[in-house]
Amino acid sequence: MAETKAPDSTRRSERSRRAIHAAALALVGEVGYARTTIEGIAARAGVGKQTIYRWWPSKAAVLLDASLELARQAEEAAGCEAGGGLPDTGDVEADLKLVLRATVDEMNHPSYDAPARALAAESVTDPELCARFVRELLEPRLQLFVDRLHAAQEAGQVRPDVDPRTALELLTGTLAHRWLMRTLPLTHAYTDRIVEYTLRGIAPRPAG
């Protein structure tokens, strides 16, 4: 008689985690964060709510982990290299435009918008969640810009006295403000202008 293999609990757990992530993102997009519950996520994912509580202390924590997975997927879509860096073709302007265009595509997508706004709101009142949001989701992505701008400095494409951290906030902070406040649409033309203004400045250029 052939030996029956025991179920692979690791694989089963990973399937459950992915189902829970997908359920949390879908429910927040459909009914909003306030009406999303652990019970609803569990039902949507086809797991018991105790399974969720075994891995996460709250629905916000579930949503953060789901967003981390989305971020990993978005980095691939933005053209990040296998080593984790932004594209480096030798043309910093073209590379930044490519990445910011992919970033606004992500920000405009319904799967990103509702969960990201929920996490931003929860972070205001939950210092622990905020710290983890910044540490695990925000800072690693910002560091990619810092590293790319450092490389541009070494290549002579950015002034050596420029602080890359401040420069990256000119690039990404403007996107975050327009997205959060919904002042105007996020478009590729807008991201291209951000890159151009950041790299060239807005002061008049000398004639000649």
**Structural contact between residues 42 and 107, judged by C-beta atoms closer than 8 angstroms:** no
Predicted confidence (pLDDT) at residue 6 exceeds the cutoff of 90 = no
At 96-109, the pLDDT tens digits run 999 999 999 989 98
Predicted confidence (pLDDT) at residue 207 exceeds the cutoff of 80 = no
Q: What is the pLDDT of residue 183?
A: 96
- pLDDT confidence tier of residue 180, bands split at 50, 70 and 90: very high
Round the average pLDDT of the chain to a whole number and report it: 88
Predicted confidence (pLDDT) at residue 1 exceeds the cutoff of 50 = no
Predicted confidence (pLDDT) at residue 151 exceeds the cutoff of 80 = yes
Q: What is the pLDDT of residue 2?
A: 47
User: By percentage, how much of the chain surpasses pLDDT 90?
Assistant: 67
At 43-68, the pLDDT tens digits run 999 999 999 999 999 999 999 999 88
Read off the pTM: 0.81
**Structural contact between residues 183 and 177, judged by C-beta atoms closer than 8 angstroms:** yes
Q: What is the pLDDT of residue 7?
A: 47
The first and second tokens of residue 73, run together, are 């997927």
Q: What is the pLDDT of residue 203?
A: 86
